[in-house]
Amino acid sequence: MKLIKLNAIDSTNTFLKQLATIKEVENFTVVSAEHQTNGKGQRGSEWLIESSKNLTFSVLYVKKTNLQINLFTLNVIVALSVVEGLQMLISKEFKIKWPNDILAENKKIAGILIENSIKSQTEIQSIIGIGINVNQENFENLPQASSLCLLEQHFLDKDLILQNVVNQLKNNLEQLNQLSETYFWEKYHEYLFKKNVVSTFEDSNGNRFVGKIIKVTSEGKLKVQLENDTEIDFDIKEVKMLY
């Protein structure tokens, strides 16, 4: 694993993306920052963390388009890799909250943001951004967030967590051809938060409704069964779960 460590940067995703445009960068190169001033999460939200307490890093993954990989399958594998990498060190119940949040004990402890671009006619470049709350103890005004430190009641080794997660991601992606996309999708659904549980949702117009998650479709949409048994597929910006 080639690791580039930075003290402060606006965004590790942006830094790695720019680096890959000016020089050839080894696959699975990792850029990690102690402090990130302009990190982004899903729906354009900011990812705010305390300096030096947590992990913010990005991984370069260049894949051949002839692999016929569904783009959301990459999200599936990344989310699974984060969970599996953390489970090697921490004995908590982890869940994946659609589309890209990682929960422990029903609290958000990690987030993922993947940016894909066409590198050439035969390659797609993915910048995989991952943020993990590790040793932060204060989450004022963020009642749904927590950290591994708070859950475990002691500080953890950030470098070890980084190594575990990146190694697990690399292993899973390298095994994709042998294990098939179906294998990872089935494991993903085993960890899917609130699957088959009646929950409250809010659509993009602010309307609330009750339903239960059936699955995530191959296009990355959330399939929800409503009270009248109707099933609707929602895109990322069309619905959010209230919990």
125-184 pLDDT per residue, tens: 999 999 999 999 998 888 889 999 999 999 999 999 999 999 999 999 999 889 989 999
196-225 pLDDT per residue, tens: 999 999 999 999 999 999 999 999 999 999
Per-residue model confidence (pLDDT) at position 69 = 62
16-60 pLDDT per residue, tens: 999 999 999 999 999 999 988 765 554 444 445 677 899 999 999
Sheet holding 239-242: strands in order across? 231-234, 222-226, 208-216, 198-203, 239-242
Domain extents for the chain? 3-191, 198-242
The correct answer on CATH 2.30.30 for the domain covering 198-242 is: yes
Is pLDDT above 80 for 119?
Answer: no
Quote the CA–CA distance of 45 and 26 in Å, as a whole number. Answer: 29
Per-residue model confidence (pLDDT) at position 2 = 94
* Closest alpha carbon to 195 in 54, 95, 47, 52: 95
Average pLDDT of the chain to the nearest whole number: 91
Q: Do the Cβ atoms of 35 and 15 come closer than 8 Å?
A: no
Quote the CA–CA distance of 124 and 116 in Å, as a whole number. Answer: 7
Q: The pTM is what?
A: 0.92
* Closest alpha carbon to 185 in 79, 87, 61: 79
Q: Which CATH class is domain 3-191?
A: alpha beta
Q: Do the Cβ atoms of 65 and 48 come closer than 8 Å?
A: no
Per-residue model confidence (pLDDT) at position 1 = 83
75-109 pLDDT per residue, tens: 999 999 999 999 999 989 999 999 999 999 999 99
